Amino acid sequence: MWNHVGWYLLVGFYLGTLCAIAFYGLHRYILVYLYIKHRHNTYQPKSSFAQLPRITVQLPMYNEDMVAQRIIRATCQLDYPLDRLEIQVLDDSTDHSAGIARLACEEWAAKGYPIKCIHRENRTGYKAGALEAGLKEATGEFIAIFDADFVPPRDMLRNVVHYFADDKVGMVQVRWDHLNRDASLLTKTQAIFLDAHFVIEHTARNRSGRFMHFNGTAGVWRRKTIDDAGGWQHDTLTEDLDLSYRAQIKGWQFVYLPQFCAPAELPPEIISFKQQAHRWTKGGFQTAMKLLPGILRSKHLSYRVKTEAFFHLSNTVVYPMMVAVTVLMYPIFFYAMSPLKPHPWSQHIFSATLFILATCSASTFFVYGQRELFGREAGWKALLYVPFLMALGVGVSLNNAKAVLEAIWGAIRRKPSEFIRTLKYGVTGQSRSTYRPQQVLTFTRLSMPILEVAFGCYMSCCIWISLYWGYGVASVPFLLIFACGYFYVGLNSFHILFKMSRETDELAHDAAPGAVST
C-alpha cells in the first residue's frame, strides 16, 4: 500500500514541478507582451544641464592583464570635459596585471587626463568592496561604471547625463553589445540570450513601471542614490541586482536606454561561460532570499511590482527543478512499476514534458529579441539557433542548479561566497580565444563535467528505450536536444580543463631551474 502511495506522490511531485517550470516559462511570454505594449513609451530628458556635472568613472578590475590597457584607453578617450571628469582604476590585482594597470594610468595621467589607480592589498568585498572603496575618494556627483572587458563609446556619458536633470532618476543603464558575437556558435548563442534580456526584459520591466536592475556595468548612478539605498553591499554575488532593488524600493526611478549600447567581450569558451552563469545564478538567488520577503510584505509597492519582482528574483529556482524532472523521467515513464506506464495517454504526458522543458526557455522570447534588434530577417535566421539555445540551456542546468543549492547552503551556514571573476581574453570580432593556464587538474574541477556527461548518457538511454519500445517516439527529438546539450557542455568542459592543465604543466616546466627551451 505504502509503495503504491509513494509512486503516486512521486508522480504528483513530478507533475507539480513540471507545472512550476511551465509557469515560469509562461512569464517570459508575458514579458514579450509587456514589451510590445510599452515599447513606444520612450524616455526623453526633461531638460539639459546648463553646465555638465562632474562624473567619476570607476573601472573595477582584478588580474585583467589582457584587457586593462584597452579599457583605460577607451575611458580616457570619452568625449567629456576633462575638468568635469574623474577616472578611477579600482585594481585588486594580485599578479603582474597590477603593474600593467599602474603604468597605463601613469601614461595617460602624464598626458593630462584625470586618472588615478587605487590598488587594494586585499579583496575584501570583492567587486562591491572595490566600488565602495573608490566611492570614498570619488568627487563626482554621478558615478559611471565599466567592467574591464567593456569598450565604452566616446559619446557614452553625453548620451546619458542629461536624463539626470530629473531629480527622481537614480540610475541610467544602456544596452550591452558584443565584440565577439560571431566568433563561434557558443558566443553567438550567448549573444542571443543576452540580447533577449536587454531588448525584451529590460524594456518591458522599465517602461511598464516594474523594477529593473543595473547590470553591474555600462551604466551611470547618481551618487546620492547609492548612499540613500545603503551603499554597495557584498553579502551577495550580485551586488548590482541587490543595490538596484534597494534603490527602487526607496523610490528612485531607473531609466533604460536600449538605443545606446556599450560593447563587451563574451566568454569565448565553456568554462568561463559556466563560471559567469554560476555567479549570476547564485548571486541572483542570494538576492532573492535577502530582499524578496520584504518586497512581498511591503504595503507601499503595487501588486504588479511585487509580482514581477517575484518572478525576476526567483527565476533561478527553475534550474534545480529542471534537473529533478530530468532525473525522474525514467522512473515516471519507463519503469515497469510506474502507475503511468500501463496507460497509453502517459506517452502524451511524456511528450508534453519534453516540449515544456525545451520550449519554455527559448523560442519566441529569444527569436523576438533578435527580430526587434536586427529586423525581421534576423528573427527568422535566429530560428536556426533555437535547437542550440535549448541544448545549451539544458546543458548548463546542472551547473546552475548547483549554484542555487550553494546559495541556500551558504545562507544556512551564513558563510560568504567567493567572487570568481570571468576570465577575459581581449578577443574581438571573429578572433578565437587562447587558452590561459588556470590551475592544476583536480577531481573537484572534473566532477561537474563527469556529471554532465553522465546525464548525456542517461538521456541517450531514454532515447534508445523510446525507439526500441516505441514509447513516446514523438519526444525523441527533444530527448536528443537534452542529450546533445549535456554532452556538449560536459565534453567541451573536459577539453578546456585538460588543455588548461597541460599549459599549466608546460609553464611550470619552462619556469623550472635548468629547463631547456626547444
- Tell me the three-class secondary structure of 347-384, residue by residue: HHHHHHHHHHHHHCCCCHHHHHHHHHHHCHHHHHHHHH
Give φ, ψ of 153 to 5 degrees: -65, 155
- Which of 394, 393, 268, 267 has the alpha carbon at shortest distance from 327? 394
Least confident of 54-58, 101-105, 328-332, 428-432: 428-432
- Which of 345, 307, 344, 351 has the alpha carbon at shortest distance from 329? 351
Least confident of 69-83, 162-176, 367-381: 367-381
**pLDDT at position 333:** 65
Task: State the Cα torsion 316-322-325-326 to the nearest 10°.
Answer: -150
390: pLDDT strictly greater than 80:
yes
Band of the pLDDT at 356, cuts 50, 70, 90?
low
The secondary element (H helix, E strand) that includes residue 174 is: strand 169-178
Least confident of 213-217, 273-277, 385-389: 385-389
- Which of 206, 478, 238 has the alpha carbon at shortest distance from 362? 478
Set of cell numbers at residue 361:
526557455
Residue with cell 500501463: 342
What average pLDDT score do residues 147-167 get?
A: 97
Active site residue 182: no
Q: List Cβ neighbours of 214 (8 Å cut-off, separation of 6 or more).
A: 171, 173, 221, 240, 241, 243, 244, 254
8 A C-beta contact, residue 417 and residue 237: yes
Set of cell numbers at residue 411:
545562507
Set of cell numbers at residue 374:
536586427
Q: What CA–CA distance (Å, rounded) separates 323 from 334?
A: 17
Other CB atoms closer than 10 Å to residue 138's CB: what's the count? 20
Mean pLDDT across the chain, nearest whole number? 88
The catalytically annotated residue of 91, 92, 195, 242 is 92
Band of the pLDDT at 447, cuts 50, 70, 90?
very high
428: pLDDT strictly greater than 90:
no
Set of cell numbers at residue 211:
523594477
What average pLDDT score do residues 390-411 get?
A: 94
Set of cell numbers at residue 87:
577616472
Other CB atoms closer than 10 Å to residue 300's CB: what's the count? 7
**pLDDT at position 183:** 93
Decide: pTM greater than 0.85: yes
Q: What CA–CA distance (Å, rounded) separates 299 from 316?
A: 26
**pLDDT at position 353:** 60
Q: What CA–CA distance (Å, rounded) separates 390 from 25?
A: 13
431: pLDDT strictly greater than 70:
no
Give the burial class of 15: count Cβ atoms within 10 A of its Cβ; 0-12 exposed, 13-18 middle, 19 or more buried. middle
Give φ, ψ of 117 to 5 degrees: -105, 125
- Which of 20, 64, 32, 13 has the alpha carbon at shortest distance from 316? 20
189: pLDDT strictly greater than 90:
yes
Least confident of 108-122, 174-188, 446-460, 504-518: 504-518
Band of the pLDDT at 433, cuts 50, 70, 90?
very low
Pairing verdict, β 169-178 and 142-145: unpaired
Give me the residues paired with residue 171 across strands: 221, 254
Active site residue 242: no
Angle between helices 346-359 and 318-327 in degrees, nearest 10: 150
**pLDDT at position 190:** 95
Q: List Cβ neighbours of 147 (8 Å cut-off, separation of 6 or more).
A: 59, 60, 61, 71, 216, 217, 218, 264
8 A C-beta contact, residue 477 and residue 387: no
**pLDDT at position 1:** 47
8 A C-beta contact, residue 34 and residue 208: yes
Set of cell numbers at residue 434:
587562447
Set of cell numbers at residue 345:
495517454
Percentage of the chain surpassing pLDDT 70?
Answer: 87
The catalytically annotated residue of 65, 177, 240, 242 is 240
pLDDT digits (tens, 9 = 90+) for 236-253: 999 999 999 999 999 999
Least confident of 182-191, 192-201, 280-289, 495-504: 495-504
